[in-house]
């Protein structure tokens, strides 16, 4: 017999076919269970009253006890309003209705005690409450505790299913499920974290008597939600480790040793050494490596990647490095070739613009094993590319690579090559635990010595003249300057217009032949783009006006000023990436954030964060708080992050707790065989079935 929670929502008293259809379409509520898991987003304290003299200090809705002293209509026709003077022992306030005045007037009684509920607003210099809810005090009987507010939609509200309407449905449902909700979490876990029972938690999130009940109930539900996610991730990780065999790289090998002894250009930082050690351990273990290396811009990830690839080579395997753009792949190639010095080792670059004849040679050398290191873009994934013995794949800036592409790369050898993912976008721990929960994570949390901090300055549009003066001063000292404009798909034409305008203005202010200005954007032909980039790299032009095509990778040590136009339109991590383009040489560097004169509070906070800190991890935390996980990780993945109650930005500790608990659990019972774990195992299966997106994470 199906469980009562699986009952179609249509059969709940007060729903019926029409509303059921709407609930499904608008909120994805199909069953009783879905309604139970449609949690309130906020609560209003209905247990206490505010006195009128305190109203100006109230931030949200308030509840007041008092009586109506007088009623009057003001204005005529459409502008007619109804006003009432509402008083308690501490003072009085005006209530105001812009519509429906006639009917309301006929309902209101002078000098009768009411309970008022509403939100005070400031009009001019006086406070009033527009469209309050008034209930004669004699009739108040419910809502002695906390009133839940539910998410709803316009269409639902039109059919009476606004927050109050949904609340009524929940109130109808709750008595029917009492005594029928089982706990999926084993009792030892509930005891360990003093979790309230599942049923109690459900009832209390919807009908709490006080704040403490709300908190305990929500804690339990969030914990459970995160617990099952971690259980899924860690079991998947465990299976991968147990079942997928990896190539064993027994030694560091000759290539590594020769490079280390003769060509290593500088002492590795401690963080680089630690991360290489972590990787070495994986590579020697016989298990299949799936490791993410997080390291801020400039932390020296390329060198780490190269050393690992040389280990693969030294053990008789080929290695590939994949970058998201052609420019970046080319830079990696040149950079690595230079690092390798006189070492004799077959290395090739393969991108979309590699010529046919050369491509053919590369394919041959990959198949016969002469090419040991292959660097390139997505072109590496094309089917004709067959390796003799691919042992390691390094993916740079992985957030731009889809999961499917990773799978393709894995399929390039009978035994899956080890995978090392490098990202310069530090992400907060909670996100790493959810997004990359089935990967191992290494962090390069140290920059090479001698880096000078970059002065970051936020300037409003009205200070533009001063900006030009400053650029001139730096250029006259021999430095180069980037000026970056946003170019976003949705507003492409306008953005393009701004970019060209900016370019013209700069060209006028910095006239030829004394000054040379380059421009690079996505609409240029690749050859032109490349040519312009090269002119700037070689120091032939002083200013590079560009869109974010320069965001990742490019390295021009003599460029010491980064000007970001309309900075309020960039996300924090993007700003941080852009800033990382300067501060690479010996000179003092600057990042100047230009914004409109009037920017939102949130934008201001972003600018302030940039000015205050250069720590990528700190910045990513703020980004998470401001934008939420969906935006932070890209829409592609945000669907997989729709949690019912937990919030990645706020519930970091609960996530950690859930993960630790799962570790403890699977160290005892990885296959979930124990009797006390059966219910949990069953719920895990349902959880997986209901989350087709889940596989997309990581």
Interface residues with ligand ADP (CB under 6 A)? 266, 268-269, 272, 295, 297-303, 424, 448
Cβ 293 to ligand ADP, closest distance in Å? Answer: 9
| Cβ–Cβ under 8 Å, residues 649 and 625 | yes
Cβ 412 to ligand ADP, closest distance in Å? Answer: 24
CA distance 323 to 397: 7
Q: Supply the DSSP symbol for 196.
A: P
Q: Are strands 390-396 and 418-423 parallel, antiparallel or unpaired?
A: parallel
Cβ 444 to ligand ADP, closest distance in Å? Answer: 7
Considering the complex, state which of residue 83 and residue 268 has its C-beta at the smaller distance from ligand ADP: 268
Cβ 296 to ligand ADP, closest distance in Å? Answer: 7
Considering the complex, state which of residue 186 and residue 616 has its C-beta at the smaller distance from ligand ADP: 616
Cβ 447 to ligand ADP, closest distance in Å? Answer: 8
Classify each residue of 398-426 as buried b or exposed e, where b means 16 or more C-beta atoms within 10 Å of its C-beta: bbbbeeebbebbbebbeebbbbbbbbbbb
Angle at 285 between CA 280 and CA 289, to 5 degrees: 70
**Residue by residue, what is the 3-state secondary structure of 306-364?**
HHHHHHHHHCCCEEEEECCCHHHHHHHHHHHHHHHCCCCCCEEEECCCCCHHHHHHHHH
Considering the complex, state which of residue 273 and residue 604 has its C-beta at the smaller distance from ligand ADP: 273
Q: Supply the DSSP symbol for 151.
A: -
Closest CA to 510 of 563, 557, 552: 563
CA distance 278 to 275: 5
| Cβ–Cβ under 8 Å, residues 324 and 397 | yes
Contacts of 473 (CB under 8 A, 6+ apart): none
Considering the complex, state which of residue 128 and residue 269 has its C-beta at the smaller distance from ligand ADP: 269
CA distance 367 to 297: 35
Contacts of 450 (CB under 8 A, 6+ apart): none
Considering the complex, state which of residue 140 and residue 268 has its C-beta at the smaller distance from ligand ADP: 268
Cβ 295 to ligand ADP, closest distance in Å? Answer: 5
Residue with nearest beta carbon to ligand ADP? 300
Considering the complex, state which of residue 302 and residue 609 has its C-beta at the smaller distance from ligand ADP: 302
- 129, two tokens: 């409450």
Considering the complex, state which of residue 267 and residue 382 has its C-beta at the smaller distance from ligand ADP: 267
- Range list of H helices, 403-491: 403-410, 429-435, 464-476
Considering the complex, state which of residue 11 and residue 266 has its C-beta at the smaller distance from ligand ADP: 266
User: In what helix (H) or strand (E) does residue 221 lie, and over which residues does it extend?
Assistant: helix 211-243
Angle at 106 between CA 104 and CA 108, to 5 degrees: 70
Considering the complex, state which of residue 31 and residue 302 has its C-beta at the smaller distance from ligand ADP: 302
Considering the complex, state which of residue 268 and residue 441 has its C-beta at the smaller distance from ligand ADP: 268
Cβ 594 to ligand ADP, closest distance in Å? Answer: 25
Cβ 426 to ligand ADP, closest distance in Å? Answer: 11
Q: How far is CA 68 from CA 49, 51, 73, 141, in A?
A: 17, 15, 14, 21
Contacts of 693 (CB under 8 A, 6+ apart): 639, 640
Cβ 323 to ligand ADP, closest distance in Å? Answer: 10
Considering the complex, state which of residue 298 and residue 630 has its C-beta at the smaller distance from ligand ADP: 298
Closest CA to 116 of 148, 101, 94: 94
Considering the complex, state which of residue 253 and residue 616 has its C-beta at the smaller distance from ligand ADP: 616
**How many contiguous H segments (helices) and E segments (strands) does the chain have?**
24, 22
Cβ 615 to ligand ADP, closest distance in Å? Answer: 15
Cβ 338 to ligand ADP, closest distance in Å? Answer: 10
Cβ 397 to ligand ADP, closest distance in Å? Answer: 9
Considering the complex, state which of residue 335 and residue 656 has its C-beta at the smaller distance from ligand ADP: 335
Considering the complex, state which of residue 217 and residue 329 has its C-beta at the smaller distance from ligand ADP: 329
Classify each residue of 156-188 as buried b or exposed e, where b means 16 or more C-beta atoms within 10 Å of its C-beta: beeeebbbebbbebbeebbeebeeebebbbbee
Considering the complex, state which of residue 118 and residue 300 has its C-beta at the smaller distance from ligand ADP: 300
| DSSP letters spanning 378-419 | GGGGSTT---SSEEEEEEESGGGS-HHHHHHHHTTSSSPPEE
| Cβ–Cβ under 8 Å, residues 318 and 369 | yes
Q: Are strands 42-45 and 543-546 parallel, antiparallel or unpaired?
A: unpaired
Cβ 302 to ligand ADP, closest distance in Å? Answer: 3
User: In whole angstroms, how large is the CA radius of gyration of the chain?
Assistant: 31
Considering the complex, state which of residue 311 and residue 394 has its C-beta at the smaller distance from ligand ADP: 394
Cβ 266 to ligand ADP, closest distance in Å? Answer: 4
Q: Supply the DSSP symbol for 110.
A: T
| Cβ–Cβ under 8 Å, residues 313 and 329 | no
| Cβ–Cβ under 8 Å, residues 207 and 145 | yes
| Cβ–Cβ under 8 Å, residues 196 and 24 | no
Cβ 619 to ligand ADP, closest distance in Å? Answer: 15
Cβ 450 to ligand ADP, closest distance in Å? Answer: 7
Instruction: State the CB neighbour count (10 A cutoff) for residue 560.
Output: 26
């Amino acid at each position: 017999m199906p469980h009562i929670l699986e009952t179609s929502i249509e059969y709940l008293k007060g729903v019926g076919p029409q509303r059921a259809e709407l609930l499904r379409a608008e909120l994805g509520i199909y069953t009783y269970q879905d309604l139970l898991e449609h949690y309130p987003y906020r609560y209003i304290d209905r247990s206490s009253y505010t006195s009128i003299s305190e109203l100006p200090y109230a931030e949200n809705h308030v509840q007041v006890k008092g009586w109506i002293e007088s009623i009057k209509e003001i204005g005529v026709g459409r502008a007619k309003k109804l006003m009432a003077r509402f008083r308690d022992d501490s003072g009085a306030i005006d209530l105001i209705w812009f519509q429906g005045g006639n009917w309301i007037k006929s309902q209101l009684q002078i000098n009768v005690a009411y309970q008022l509920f509403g939100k005070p607003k400031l009009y001019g210099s006086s406070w009033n409450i527009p469209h309050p809810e008034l209930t004669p005090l004699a009739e108040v009987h419910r809502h002695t505790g906390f009133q839940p507010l539910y998410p709803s939609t316009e269409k639902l509200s039109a059919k009476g299913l606004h927050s109050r309407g949904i609340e009524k449905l929940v109130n109808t449902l709750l008595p029917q499920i009492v005594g029928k909700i089982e706990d999926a979490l084993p009792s030892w876990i509930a005891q360990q974290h003093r979790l309230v029972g599942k049923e109690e938690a459900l009832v209390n999130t919807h009908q709490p008597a006080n704040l403490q009940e709300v908190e305990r109930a929500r804690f339990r539900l969030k914990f459970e939600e995160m617990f099952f996610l971690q259980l899924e991730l860690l079991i998947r990780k465990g299976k991968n480790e147990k079942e997928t065999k990896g190539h064993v790289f027994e030694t560091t090998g000759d290539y590594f040793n020769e490079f280390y002894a003769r060509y290593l250009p500088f002492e590795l930082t401690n963080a680089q050494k630690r991360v290489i050690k972590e990787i070495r351990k994986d590579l020697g273990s016989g298990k299949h490596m799936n490791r993410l290396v997080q390291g801020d811009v400039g932390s020296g990830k390329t060198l780490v990647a190269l050393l690992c690839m040389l280990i693969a080579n030294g053990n008789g395997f080929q290695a590939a490095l994949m970058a998201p753009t052609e420019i970046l792949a080319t830079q990696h190639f040149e950079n690595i070739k230079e690092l390798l010095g006189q070492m004799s080792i077959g290395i090739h670059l393969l991108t979309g613009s590699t010529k046919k004849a050369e491509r053919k040679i590369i394919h041959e050398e990959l198949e016969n094993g002469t090419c040991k290191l292959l660097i390139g873009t997505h072109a590496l994934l094309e089917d004709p590319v067959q390796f003799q013995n691919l042992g390691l794949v390094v993916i740079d800036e992985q957030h731009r690579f889809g999961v499917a592409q990773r799978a393709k790369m894995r399929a390039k050898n009978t035994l899956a090559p080890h995978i090392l993912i490098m990202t310069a976008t530090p992400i907060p721990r909670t996100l790493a635990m959810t997004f990359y929960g089935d990967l191992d994570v290494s962090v390069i949390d140290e920059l090479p010595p001698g880096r000078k901090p970059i002065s970051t300055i936020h300037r409003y549009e009205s200070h533009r003249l001063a900006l030009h003066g400053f650029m001139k001063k730096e250029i006259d000292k021999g430095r180069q300057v980037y000026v970056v404009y946003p170019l976003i798909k949705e507003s492409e034409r306008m953005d393009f217009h701004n970019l060209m305008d900016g370019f013209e203005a700069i060209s006028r202010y910095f006239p030829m032949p004394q000054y040379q200005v380059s421009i690079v954007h996505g609409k240029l032909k690749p050859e032109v783009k490349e040519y312009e980039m090269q002119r700037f790299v070689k120091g032939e032009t002083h200013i590079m006006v560009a869109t974010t095509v320069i965001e990742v990778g490019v390295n021009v040590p003599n460029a010491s000023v980064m000007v970001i136009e309309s900075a309020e339109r960039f996300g924090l991590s993007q700003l941080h990436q852009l800033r990382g383009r300067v501060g690479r040489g010996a000179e003092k560097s600057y990042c100047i954030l230009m914004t409109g004169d009037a920017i939102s509070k949130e934008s201001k906070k972003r600018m302030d964060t940039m000015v205050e800190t250069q720590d990528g991890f700190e910045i990513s935390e703020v980004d998470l708080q401001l934008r939420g996980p969906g935006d932070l990780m890209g829409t592609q993945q945000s669907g997989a992050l729709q949690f019912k109650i937990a919030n990645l930005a706020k519930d970091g500790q609960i996530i950690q707790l859930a993960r630790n608990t799962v570790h403890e659990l699977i160290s005892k019972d990885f296959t979930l065989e124990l009797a006390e774990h059966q219910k949990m195992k069953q719920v895990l299966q349902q959880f997986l079935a209901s989350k087709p997106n889940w596989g997309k994470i990581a």
